[in-house]
Structure 1
């Protein structure tokens, strides 16, 4: 019986497992991850406003694994021998497989001096809870919200949630009747943050910040973060609460492998999500570096599309066919502001931006309900 090993338990990993079974693949599947829960991070933006609680966004996966006949190994990967398709783990167990899917996600770069003084919102649900507690304890002051990228891989950025936090916190403070006691500043080394969304989207985002009274400190390289300020080459932003999304790179264990890595530290893949030069090795989601348009996003939707391509190509390989399914490059983002949402869509030459509308907020909430049905 063929064996497929999937590293990770996030969007790309679970979509790969589900799509393999949908395609009738009867092979043994092992999922390796230190976490047997799906953390639905897209909705963690609503934790500060009480629209979601952390418990509701942590979904146990035991039933999902049983339903799809998946063996789960609770472990952290420590290494991978590409030629042998052999995975080592911190439990001491070694897993060998006919196909290995790297879907472990990326990690945030933490080389900036003093980054420990900032909360990294997309690092997990606990970060959203910490931010909620810090905000509740403040009677006033300055909130600094910013983002940066991986200088060696400009596409390794997840900026959308930071725009959402800026708009959501502004709206929340207004609801609470204390917005006038807070200064909000958005900072980024880029003079026009969010360019992967398209120029019209950037114009709309910056206009919305101006309308809400959110100041900007843009186009200045970051130097360090201190407990009460963000220091850049273009000046300082004093702050009582700092939210910062650094650029991304690959999992730490990749450095000890013989896998081909991009300049930014991610696994190099082709259009079929096949690891370059490595038979039977695949990558989907944030851990990979892929060919495609310069705006190719790092987001859950793109990870799902890559995972579907991986599942299709593995299913074909098990029947002796070469890879034929290239992943679709597509960006779909609803930037929420607590009661409205701005839609950005990119695919091929299409680049659509819709202004903040109330129905789009509800569409984002409806999508969450639809997406999570597979795991509840």
Structure 2
């Protein structure tokens, strides 16, 4: 139990959506706990907004939120460091600046993109961060024409470890941007994916809608063929190759490199194994939230900020209960909700185990996405 003389110490690893949402839940449930955040920098990078960087709708400074004020309000100690491993069954976090001990631990360091495809250095992986989106912006400014290839793939051992939604947004956003600039006729856009039903985690109704939208926009598709390699000027698949002057590619995700230096239980796809309560089996008072974890549930369970927020509530409730020595079996609902945006209009997709809804593209959904961004970031500014 917590006392004024001896508050329990909870350490949160990672300053992304999962880590910060968990901090808010922990503080709400335990005003007296000592909380430490370990991350490379005290700032949140709002990656959903990078889809608007190529068009100039967003800049770097719009998407980086310093966390000093948030950490002060939440009374959180910050340790600037890279995590390198765990010891003492999770009670000690090993970092690049020394050990950090804890009474309870939250793993929220995100995932890592699988960069094993030969020639992947010829492609830009947008969700690696703001710098990647800026590279796309700069390349588009330099190009006077040519072929732009946009695609994604998954982790064959982890169906949920894929992030395809942003690639549809980059595809449609670039198409819209080139039209606005009066340059679209000089470019050929190609969407590629090893599946013949790309984005099926969004639901088959959405897949059909997206493919129809590509056809309407004059975007070619190359589907259903396993990727072989990228070259400087082409994409090579088992079903043939095609020229590409700019390649945007999102590979599947796996676990962080530092997981390999631990005895954490791992899923077949390399993520930290979790139960339905976000607890890590075999590790007392250790929970995992967000992209770092492999959770039981449908194979379409999304890797997105909304899902991390839902998991954070369950993880915080169960970790506090474990520290109190009382039973708790909080779970999280599985829900996919996203707006596939195209600069000034968007399509709403909502999926739960019970239903799958698609609402066609309107300007209202674009502004809803921008409104959500403003409201979400307000709590951290």
TM class, shorter-length: over 0.9
Q: CA deviation at 1:326?
A: 0.3
Q: Of residues 41, 44, 56 in structure 1, which corresponds to 2:62?
A: 56
C-alpha distance in structure 1 between counterparts of 2:215 and 2:352, whole Å: 29
SS, match of residue 253 in structure 1? helix
How many residues matched? 375
C-alpha distance in structure 1 between counterparts of 2:61 and 2:151, whole Å: 27
* 1:56-205 correspondence runs (5 A): 56-81=62-87, 83-91=89-97, 93-205=98-210
SS, match of residue 363 in structure 1? helix
SS, match of residue 324 in structure 2? coil
SS, match of residue 176 in structure 2? helix
1:131-154 deviations in Å (ceiling 9; x for gaps): 000010000000000000012112
Q: Please provide the CA RMSD for this pair.
A: 0.9
C-alpha distance in structure 2 between counterparts of 1:215 and 1:369, whole Å: 35
Please report the TM-score for the alignment, with normalisation by the length of structure 1: 0.98
Which piece of structure 1 moves more, 206-215 or 149-158? 149-158
Q: Of residues 233, 253, 271 in structure 2, which corresponds to 1:248?
A: 253
1:6-29 deviations in Å (ceiling 9; x for gaps): 110000000111111122342111
Q: Of residues 9, 26, 34 in structure 2, which corresponds to 1:3?
A: 9
Residue 216 of structure 1 corresponds to 221
**Cα–Cα, structure 1 residues 375 and 251, in superposed 2: closer, same or farther, change >3 Å?**
same
Q: Of residues 287, 296, 300 in structure 2, which corresponds to 1:291?
A: 296
1:226-246 deviations in Å (ceiling 9; x for gaps): 111111111112111100000
Residue 233 of structure 1 corresponds to 238
C-alpha distance in structure 2 between counterparts of 1:86 and 1:122, whole Å: 31
Q: CA deviation at 1:325?
A: 1.1
2:318 pairs with 1:321: no
SS, match of residue 89 in structure 2? coil
Please report the TM-score for the alignment, with normalisation by the length of structure 2: 0.97
Contact kept in structure 2, 1:192 and 1:202, CA below 8 Å: yes
Contact kept in structure 1, 2:111 and 2:253, CA below 8 Å: yes
Residue 271 of structure 1 corresponds to 276
Gaps of 5+ in 1: none
Contact kept in structure 2, 1:82 and 1:259, CA below 8 Å: no
C-alpha distance in structure 2 between counterparts of 1:82 and 1:155, whole Å: 30
Gaps of 5+ in 2: 1-6
Contact kept in structure 1, 2:90 and 2:286, CA below 8 Å: no
Contact kept in structure 1, 2:54 and 2:137, CA below 8 Å: yes
